Amino acid sequence: MRKLDLKGNLFPMAILETQDLHVSVEGKPILNGVELALEEGKVHALMGPNGSGKSTLAFALAGHPDYRITHGRILLAGEDITHLPPDQRAKRGLFLAFQYPPEVEGVKLREFMRLACGDQGHGFCEFQQLYPKAIKHLSMDELADRELNVGFSGGEKKRAELFQAWLLRPKVALLDEPDSGVDVDAFKVIARAIRELAAAGTAVLIITHYPRVLEHVPPARVFVLNEGRITQTGGPELARTIEVEGFKAVQR
Amino acid sequence: MNEKTALKRGLTREVVEEISREKGEPDWMLRLRLRALEIFQRLPMPKFGPDLSEVDLADISYYLRSVEPVASWDELPEEIRKTFDALGLPEAEKEALAGLGAQVDSEVVYRSILKDVRTQGVLFLPMEEAVREHPDLVREHFMRVIPPADNLFAALHGAVWSGGTFVWVPEGVKVEIPLQAYFRMQTQGVGQFEHTLIVAEPGSSVHYIEGCSAPRYTKVVLHSGMVEIVAKEGAHVRFTTIQNWSRNVYNLNNKRAVAHAGARVDWVSGSLGSKVTMLYPTTVLAGPGASTENLGFTFARDGQYLDVGARALHLAPNTSSRLVSRSVIQGDAKAVFRGKVYVAKNARGAKGHVECSTLLLSPQAKTETIPVLDAENDEVELAHEATVGRISKDHLFYLMSRGLTEQEALSLIVNGFVSPILKEIPLEYALELKRLLEISFEGAVG
Ligand SMILES: Nc1ncnc2c1ncn2[C@@H]1O[C@H](COP(=O)(O)OP(=O)(O)OP(=O)(O)O)[C@@H](O)[C@H]1O
Ligand SMILES: [Mg+2]
């Protein structure tokens, strides 16, 4: 059932929604009731101190088997995906750009993306046509023929993650610190790609420590995660308050 | 089966004489066989590696001519022809090869060579024909690279060898596309002992590929082939093997090359089949500046014991070797890698590199890496790396988070792991190997 506001208008429907999400890692509770709603075509930001559980939330949403959902639900386009394996979530349009993308030896980016496009089959990724475009757009020429993330610099890894998101055109893109360790030029490329994703309808969640990225990609909403719960929600001004005054200032 | 060309089981002087008579061999070859037999009778079984007690040398048929040689594929018995068709041999012959030989049981049944290659003076012959028609070329090298006394199976091979190929490349001739041999053990209880001798004259080059298979029988059977390579000054020989014997085969081979000054010998070995394999392709770097690359890919599955390795013996200055192995082990299989680099006293400036990585796909998989780096002078650069690992959960999750199924993701990871070797294998085989790697991955993730 869709919610109505006080004036009786429909709330815009969230493409991704979590309800009272509790997540444990190795038996240790990390998230304690996260409520989050992401809207189509909008940029959202998730901020919070180190260790507050931002990456944990991202992994749990994407279905990492070590991140156990002990309570609550995840809805993607209204469908309960709480217990789906990661590939099933991806096929339904969920994408996670990793904070620390792993280096997979011997696997070529092209082959990987060809399989990914084939599997997603949600119609957005026309591999033959989009791949060369994406390579150019994200300045990936020199990285495309190398082994997947192997020996990539920190910034190159981030660019490669955004490249994949841009190519796969997901419904929801969770970007875990897409800006960390990225130089000025690469940053512009990444920021542009994020804006384009949102413009094409993707619901974007940027996890970040730096309001800089939010100036280039203005978020509709900023969430603050603290000790495993969303403690604040606001507009872009919330990011600036955090920058100036720290997380203490926005804690309840 | 033709009764008169099947010999009784077991190994006796009479059997050896009969093989020689059947082939119409010159006397020197018969004497070589009998000397090898004598040596065989006093050598012990190998003192390392797998248990070979199941191989009953008295219960093997050492020679069987089951199929008469033919000039075209159509003339082969239907069962054999179908097998070769399924393997894509006639197609490969047309499209990608300079020459092709096919052996069934003890004898070569089909052979062809491109006219261009023949007119360059290249010889590509069944071994028996070479013994009869080019005795001087053959005799100079035959079982000189690996003498019968080297080990029990070298001696056995010397006594009963049958079939195989002789390749001779004249000085300066470069054979641009590969020559290929295919070995099929077709008949239950018959061992296969083909002999391959490649002589590359100075400045020449050749790529030789061999593949092998057998239908599966319940009884174990022995394959003990021998490959001898002589690469003269500045020659380049590349020898690729894709071994996919059925799981009742004991595959105990001897492969060795001598690389003279400035020559290069490359071994590429894919070991997938057999019940037990012992295989240690060796390059003797005999002349200054000689080099070798020895790439091995081993895929051991349930019940298999693949004991493989690579050896480089540096006997001259400024020689170099690179031994690389990738093993994937599934179920309760075992794979062993023995990497040996020996540097003699006078081989100053030698460089050797041994690299061995193993991927375990199950908790029961067993592996061992046994490197031996032995230098008798100080002016050498030797390096050794070994890793053993399992498929990382995080890698798997990463690939699956892009929509790849678990099976696709695992295949991609395993293929990626072996890619340093796979990319050295001719495309047609690489595709076949990729297919063989699409396996069940139960319990593979660590
Ligand atoms: N695989 C794991 N094993 C053990 N503890 C974990 C694991 N993953 C996360 N944690 C713990 O969960 C907590 C939240 O970690 P998480 O990585 O989600 O934080 P974060 O908000 O992304 O931090 P950062 O800003 O530093 O990236 C931390 O205390 C962390 O140590
Ligand atoms: Mg994090």
**Nearest Cβ partner for A107 among B393, B394, B412:** B412
- Tell whether ipTM is more than 0.90: yes
Q: What separation in Å is there between the alpha carbon of A193 and the centre of ligand 2? A: 21
Bridge pairing between strands B276-279 and B305-314? parallel
A91-139 pLDDT, tens digit per residue, is 999 999 999 999 999 999 988 998 888 766 555 567 788 888 999 999 9
Asked if B395's CB is within 8 angstroms of A86's CB, the reply is no
d(CA A177, CA A179): 5
**CA nearest neighbour of B128 among B148, B154, B101:** B101
B405-424 pLDDT, tens digit per residue, is 998 899 899 989 998 888 88
Work out the pLDDT band at B1, boundaries 50, 70, 90: very low
Residues of A in contact with B414 (CB under 8 A): none
Do residues A110 and A164 lie in contact, with contact meaning Cβ atoms separated by under 8 Å? no
Ligand 1 atom closest to the Cα of residue A177 is 27
Q: What separation in Å is there between the alpha carbon of A198 and the centre of ligand 2? A: 22
**CB of B297 within 8 Å of any CB in chain A?**
no
- CATH for A16-51+58-245 is 3.40.50.300
d(CA B156, CA B254): 11
In a domain, B92, yes or no: yes
The domain locations on chain A are: 16-51+58-245
Which residue in B has a C-alpha nearest to residue A106's C-alpha?
Answer: B416
Among the ranges given (B1-10, B24-33, B71-80, B373-382), the one the predictor scored with the smallest mean pLDDT: B1-10
Work out the pLDDT band at B303, boundaries 50, 70, 90: very high
d(CA B80, CA B78): 5
User: Angle between the B152-160 and B13-22 helix axes, to the nearest 10 degrees?
Assistant: 50
Owning domain of residue B135: 5-279
The residue whose CA is least distant from atom 30 of ligand 1 is: A51
Q: Which DSSP string corresponds to B123-155?
A: EEEEHHHHHHH-HHHHHHHTTTSS-GGG-HHHH
H or E element that contains A14: strand A14-25
The SS3 call for residue B114 is coil
Asked if A164's CB is within 8 angstroms of B402's CB, the reply is yes
d(CA B169, CA B192): 26
In a domain, B11, yes or no: yes
Residues of A in contact with B395 (CB under 8 A): 102, 104
Number of domains in chain B: 1
**CA nearest neighbour of B400 among A11, A160, A104:** A104
A160-177 pLDDT, tens digit per residue, is 999 999 999 999 999 999
**Locate tokens 């070859």: which residue?**
B29
Asked if B402's CB is within 8 angstroms of A106's CB, the reply is no
**CA nearest neighbour of A112 among B399, B420, B438, B422:** B399
User: Which of residues 416 through 435 in chain B touch A, CB cutoff 8 A?
Assistant: 416-420
Q: What is the pLDDT of residue B368?
A: 95
In a domain, B223, yes or no: yes
